[in-house]
Chain A
Amino acid sequence: MWLLTFAIVTLQKWLPLNPDGIGNMDPTLAFNTISSFVTNTNLQHYSGETGLSYLSQMAVITFLQFVTAATGVAACIAIIRGLGGNRLQTLGNFYVDVTRATVRLFLPLAVLVAVILMWQGTPMTFHGAARATTVEGAAQTIARGGVAPEVAIKQLGTNGGGYFGPNSAHPYENPTPISNFVETWCITVIPMAMVWTLGAMVRRRGLAVMVFLTMLALYLPMVAFGVAQDARGNPAISAMGIDQSTGSMEGKEVRFGSGMSALWSVATTVTSNGSVNAMQDSLTPLGGLMPMMGMWLNNIFGGVGVGFINMLIFIIVAVFVAGMMIGRTPEFLGKKVEAKEMKLASLALLWHPLAILVGAAIACYVWATTAHPDAALAWLHNPGPHGFSEMLYEFSSAAANNGYGFEGLGDNTPFWNISCGLVMLLSRYIPIIAPLGLAGILGAKPAAPETAGSLRAETATFGFTLWAVVVILGLLMFMPVAVLGPIAEYLAMR
């Protein structure tokens, strides 16, 4: 899969369906691009309309967006089987699960969404760019193509890699408030549904309710805070006497306004979707911190399948912590949680901050030890704490398999292409393989009957414990970098 798609983008110049004569992709950029889409990250160091032919958009990007999303679902279903099963031999057939997820779930939904988008104005054409002569006589080349099918699966499959550079901020990808509503719905619908899938598959609705409410209790405050921050606008612009009653509008579109943009920014990062309808780099400092927190947690609803696996890891840890607190053997769904399981859970849990913090530290080190970094490296588009945020965001995005950056970062350089490519590959597979191993072990164990002494995972008490574990374990590790980046910028601007 990796090799075939790599070949298509590096040879696209000579392949059919390339009406705008787009050249071949440079190999390091192609390494990053293909790793990015194979891992469902969709981090883009290229810009769609200038870097990819129609064939590459269809056979590489859209295809991988379907398959990786279906793989996420298949992995999640396998893990749930492990948790719910009793003395299982296998966790199911990968091919069967991927095919079912593609044919029964993603294709029908994507067709429906793409039709709504076309109705609202998203193009779907095999014609090359339109050449217009404007009213004032200037020439304008308008890039278009098979946008609607790509946007539909990009939103549904928590892929996020847009057809055009600015993603769903582009009027062709997201033409109206109605299309914006549909696309925002698409971001969260399957990740939210996966929670109920767990409930149905292990026959415990109460568990699904508890997990769902805990996730909402993490998600809603972030949305409210992010929307409020951006609605207040940029204090530096207010100081110039300009009317900012509609909020901070740099990098945002009039048809969405600041509220719908801030809502999207949080939804897209907690689900590891990574599509945007506004430029994240231009969000207000604390408004931009919310999407970063979403990626650091990476488990509220989460990416299709995978994000929910992250939440399961936190549940196992919470079970362990709660079990220790009440002095009983920790167990979840009647399975004893022992040292081996905890080791795998810790591995999955610690990898995420490790990748982000070490990655960002190396980038800072390279920056700091290079003479005249502005001229020599030219990565940073913004000076001061915001520049630090740009680098931090990029690694967070790569590790969370999210895919959107503070796009001011000059990220199409060998350093960023290769470092982020590696982080993406490792961060996709470690958090899937470790939990799969864990589920395999749990699935093979006999389920003990529940007694009055068992820890009940359906209760509000456990929900609160889980919430606290997520906040303390998931967020506290990132507190120092949050202070160095966005919080420092906020305080400096006040």
Chain B
Amino acid sequence: MFTEVRRGVVFTVLLMLMTGGGYHVLLWGIGQTMFREQAEGSLIYRIDGTVLGSRLIARQFSEPRYFHPRPSAVDYNAAATGGSNYGPSNRDFLKAVRERRDAIMREDGVTAGRIPSEMVTMSGSGMDPDIPPAAAEVQVARVARARGVSVERVQALIRAHTAPPALGFLGRARVNVLELNLALDETFASAQALP
């Protein structure tokens, strides 16, 4: 009986050291040497070294001169992520969707039929870094106006930042909102100074 218990305890501790310790240290080593940037969270730094954000994590953009990300159920809080968990028939949910639709129609001056459902629904993580190209297209006129540049130049920027489906067939075309907005600031730096 005693040897049976001791065997069980030794077995548990050894397995815990192996799978709960050694395994992590090995992968940490691989991550730090081969994929250092990704292992630290795909962070984007400013020139002064401060962190601007992560290319994988959505953040709030509310000014008209930036492209807006999808709505977030957790208000873009990347330390407590989550979705809305609204069922499809929930009245509160449908009311919120209607309000978001009206807000976009007002701000971007488009008809409801042009708004992709991604922009009125919340993502599962609340951290979706991407929008579909159609959702960027809806916002083009507003961004161009706010920056005082032509619609065509902004559209060209969207095309340059549209990632095709992976390997040609996995997933869909998508635009990373943070990268697109950083490219906007870079390309139209002079326009920013205008009122």
Chain B, 5-34, contact with A by CB distance < 8 Å: what is the 0/1 string? 001000110011011110110111011001
Specify which of A4, A115, A120, A143 is in contact with B12 (CB 8 Å cutoff): A4
Name which residue of chain A comes closest to B116, CB basis. A243
**Residues 230-280 of A contacting B (Cβ, < 8 Å):** 233-234, 236-237, 240-257, 260-261, 276-279
Name which residue of chain A comes closest to B121, CB basis. A250
CB distance from A92 to the nearest CB of B (A): 16
CB–CB B123/A169 < 8 A: yes
Q: Given A178-B166, A254-B132, A284-B88, A121 and B42 touching (CB < 8 A)?
A: yes
CB distance from B43 to the nearest CB of A (A): 6
CB–CB B84/A130 < 8 A: no
B103 part of interface (Cβ distance < 8 Å): no
CB distance from A119 to the nearest CB of B (A): 6
CB distance from A164 to the nearest CB of B (A): 6
How many B residues are at the interface, by size bracket?
35 or more
B39 part of interface (Cβ distance < 8 Å): yes
Stretch touching chain A among B73-81, B141-149, B151-159 = B73-81
B122 part of interface (Cβ distance < 8 Å): yes
Name which residue of chain A comes closest to B112, CB basis. A241
CB–CB B34/A282 < 8 A: no
CB distance from B139 to the nearest CB of A (A): 14
CB–CB B79/A129 < 8 A: yes
Tell me the complex Cα distance, A144–B87, Å: 29
CB–CB A255/B171 < 8 A: yes
Tell me the complex Cα distance, A69–B54, Å: 33
**Residues 313-372 of A contacting B (Cβ, < 8 Å):** none
CB–CB B101/A240 < 8 A: yes
Residues of A within 8 A of B94 (CB): 236-237
A-B contact count (CB 8 A): 343
Tell me the complex Cα distance, A133–B45, Å: 10
A281 part of interface (Cβ distance < 8 Å): yes
CB–CB B23/A132 < 8 A: no
Interface centre among A119, A140, A177, A241 (most CB of B within 10 A): A140
Interface centre among B34, B87, B167, B185 (most CB of A within 10 A): B87
Name which residue of chain A comes closest to B54, CB basis. A142
Q: Given A386-B87, A408-B85, A252 and B123 touching (CB < 8 A)?
A: yes
Chain B, 49-75, contact with A by CB distance < 8 Å: what is the 0/1 string? 011111011111111001000100000
Q: Given A122-B38, A171-B129, A254-B132, A242 and B182 touching (CB < 8 A)?
A: no
4 closest Cβ pairs, A-B complex:
A177-B171, A169-B124, A408-B85, A386-B87
Write 7 A-B pairs (CB below 8 A) sorted by A numbering: A58-B21, A118-B39, A140-B77, A250-B121, A251-B85, A281-B86, A381-B85
Interface residues of A (CB under 8 A from B): 1, 4, 47, 49-50, 58-60, 62-63, 66-67, 95, 98-99, 102, 107, 110-111, 114-115, 118-127, 129-136, 138, 140-144, 146, 148-149, 153, 164-166, 169-172, 175-178, 180-181, 233-234, 236-237, 240-257, 260-261, 276-279, 281-285, 381-387, 389-390, 406-408, 489, 492-493
Interface residues of B (CB under 8 A from A): 7, 11-12, 15-16, 18-21, 23-24, 26-28, 30-31, 34-35, 38-43, 50-54, 56-63, 66, 70, 76-91, 93-94, 97-98, 101, 111-118, 120-132, 134, 165-167, 170-172, 174, 178, 181-182, 185
Extra A-B contacts (14), CB below 8 Å, given A119-B34, A127-B40, A135-B59: A63-B16, A67-B19, A115-B30, A123-B39, A125-B31, A132-B54, A136-B61, A165-B82, A166-B126, A253-B130, A254-B70, A381-B85, A382-B85, A390-B87
